[in-house]
Amino acid sequence: MRKDVHTDAIPVLCVACEARHKGVCGALEAEQLVALARTSHKQYAGSGTELLGDAQKIGSYANVLSGVVKLTKTLSDGRQQIVGLQFAPDFLGRPFREESDLNAEAATDVSLCAFPRAAVERMMQSSPELERRLYRQALDELDEARDWMVTLGRKTASEKIASFLLMIARNIDPAADADRQAAAFDLPLTRADIADFLGLTIETVSRQLTRLRADKIITIENNRHIVVPDLARLEARAGN
Amino acid sequence: MRKDVHTDAIPVLCVACEARHKGVCGALEAEQLVALARTSHKQYAGSGTELLGDAQKIGSYANVLSGVVKLTKTLSDGRQQIVGLQFAPDFLGRPFREESDLNAEAATDVSLCAFPRAAVERMMQSSPELERRLYRQALDELDEARDWMVTLGRKTASEKIASFLLMIARNIDPAADADRQAAAFDLPLTRADIADFLGLTIETVSRQLTRLRADKIITIENNRHIVVPDLARLEARAGN
DNA sequence: ATCCTGCGTTGACCCTGATCAAACCTTGCA
DNA sequence: TGCAAGGTTTGATCAGGGTCAACGCAGGAT
């Protein structure tokens, strides 16, 4: 069966896009990709930009193309907790809900591929495969959230920091995961963000990092760049 | 258009079932319900029974018909954290994964409607509406998990206890939610479970409950039965 | 160059919640 | 009826991590 050349072409926007390979767009046929790409636009946001406010109407969804987005919740007296981090090529948004119950903020400079809400919802109706991918991502996020519940509820400060560094290493320097035993990466979060993620204070985060450095489990350059010469030793501190 | 009486009949098993009204089975046509019901069976488990072990092959899914199921994770040294509670008519199971990465245990006596794994997966393929319901439940569970991350990471012991009691009240005595200002219910969890849920120790849970009782915000009968004369006062302690 | 300003580190002290220990119910069962 | 076994409460003490405060450092603006 011959395919029309026109519908077979992958949109320029998508050709090299990670979301098409490992993200939700991989669910779509060239034809559908064209339809969706027509309504989408690339979007750049500097570190600190608010992408979606709490109690704000949800106008669009997006794929994270690069950088890190943090999802936060804040109590009325200002205490804050990061409840999720999104890396490329995660899908950003919460289908089936009119307004957000959390904040999404660029933790680093980020680039996004944004879609109008209606376009995604229409596409979800017509493509069960897309919906399934979104479902799978939601389940993965749920697994992650539950892992962090253990960390938040039951681990000590130093175990929390070690767990956090491992998680970042796995996301930023994926090659390091299993085979190699060393890893190096830039922290995408400030000390304040790390504290908000782990339910600690800035001071405790700083002290624990200093301790890991003193114990020669990591080295720190310019406050942000971390080198882990032996991942196994870091894992031993994560207390799983 | 006349429907065949045979395929139109709702299985006896399902007639009064809550899962058909508010749960995932509501997605199914009478015909599909019949097909699924043929493979399902009711299952009773006493408090404390392990329903699904960590790293165990997933053989079946289930709807919770009554009682409470706790989902737990355990660190290698025995520290435990409850990462989710399921009430009727929640769907119990994690599609798209061969084996579980958590434990499911009956927190109270429970009754379940269990389905062989293959039956649910076949039905999911043929009914986008079912998959959508499952997707929605996963998103709801994700929202809940994130709410608890805030509680675990940023709230004090007394705020944790107040938040927990509110959550239970809303699930066990739903009428109490908004309109009425009083609520009464039996705690489905032991002090040890509450501690594992909130990232506290048994002693702290006990002390905080005693404090709420001393402050006349709750009354406790037989250790398990809680009466909240004024939900607003309890909410004020939850620190949202 | 100098001053800011935003991050990050370090120190001193304190408090919340953990730990250890003992006693106190309930409930089931012999 | 009495006993055993969980589950729960209460008390005394301790320590992990929070709070408050000062200082250091780097990069950008003037």
Give the span between the Cα atoms of B137 and B83, in whole angstroms. Answer: 16
Omega of the bond prior to B89 within 30 degrees of 0, cis? yes
Which parts of chain A fold into alpha helices (H)? 5-8, 12-15, 18-21, 30-39, 117-126, 128-154, 157-172, 191-198, 202-214, 231-238
Q: What residue type is assigned to position B106 of the chain?
A: A
Query: Any residues with CB less than 8 A from the CB of A68 and at least 6 apart, and which?
Result: A85, A86, A87, A106, A107, A108, A110, A188, A189
- Is the per-residue pLDDT at A201 higher than 70? yes
Taking the alpha carbons of A108, A138, B160, B103 in that order, is the dihedral positive or negative? negative
Q: In terms of pLDDT, which residue wins out, B144 or A1?
A: B144
The residue among A91, A139, A198, A204 with the most chain B CBs within 10 A of its CB, best to mutate, is A139
Torsion of CA B158, B161, B166, B168, to 10 degrees: 180
Whole-number percent of chain A with pLDDT over 90 = 84
Whether the CB-CB separation of B146 and A102 falls below 8 Å is answered with yes
Interchain pair A139, B94: CB under 8 A: yes
Contact, B131 vs A135, CB < 8 A? yes
State the average pLDDT over residues A79-88.
Answer: 97
Buried b (16+ CB within 10 A) or exposed e, B78-111: ebbbbbbbbbbbbbbbbbeeeebebbbbbbbebb
Per-residue model confidence as pLDDT tens digits over B177-186: 666 789 999 9
Instruction: Please tell me the total number of residues recorded for chain A in this structure.
Output: 240
Of A97, A135, A199, the CB nearest to B154: A199
In chain A, what residues touch B199 (CB-CB under 8 Å)? Answer: 152-154
Residue-wise pLDDT for A217-232, tens only, equals: 999 999 999 999 999 9
Between A67-71, A102-106, B9-13, B218-222, the lowest mean confidence (pLDDT) is in: B9-13
pLDDT at A173: 87
Closest by CA position to A153, among listed B181, B150, B8: B150
In the structure, what pLDDT confidence band is assigned to residue B105 with cuts at 50, 70 and 90? very high
Distance B141 CA to D19 C1' (A): 35
Contact A75 B153 (CB under 8 A): no
Q: What is the overall mean pLDDT for chain B?
A: 92
Q: Residue B131: is its pLDDT beyond 80?
A: yes
The spacing between the Cα labelled CA in B85 and the C1' in D25, in angstroms, equals 48
B191 touches strand D (CB under 7 A): yes
Region B75-94: mean pLDDT is 96
| Share of residues in chain B with pLDDT > 70 (%) | 95
Question: What is the structure's pLDDT at A137?
Answer: 97
The predicted model gives A2-6 an average pLDDT of: 50
Percent of chain B whose predicted confidence (pLDDT) is above 90: 83
- Measured between alpha carbons, how far is A45 from A109 in angstroms, rounded to an integer? 6
pLDDT in tens, A17-57: 899 999 999 999 999 999 999 999 999 999 999 999 888 88
Mean pLDDT of the region A162-173: 95
Tell me which nucleotides of strand D come within 7 A of a protein CB: 7-12, 16-21, 27
Phi, psi of A104 (to 5 degrees): -115, 130
Strand C-proximal protein residues, Cβ less than 7 Å: A 190-192, 202-203, 205-207, 209-210, 220, 223-224; B 156-158, 199-201, 203-204, 222
Q: Write down the pLDDT at residue B82.
A: 98
Q: What is the pLDDT of residues B199-227, one digit of tens each?
A: 999 999 999 999 999 999 999 998 999 99
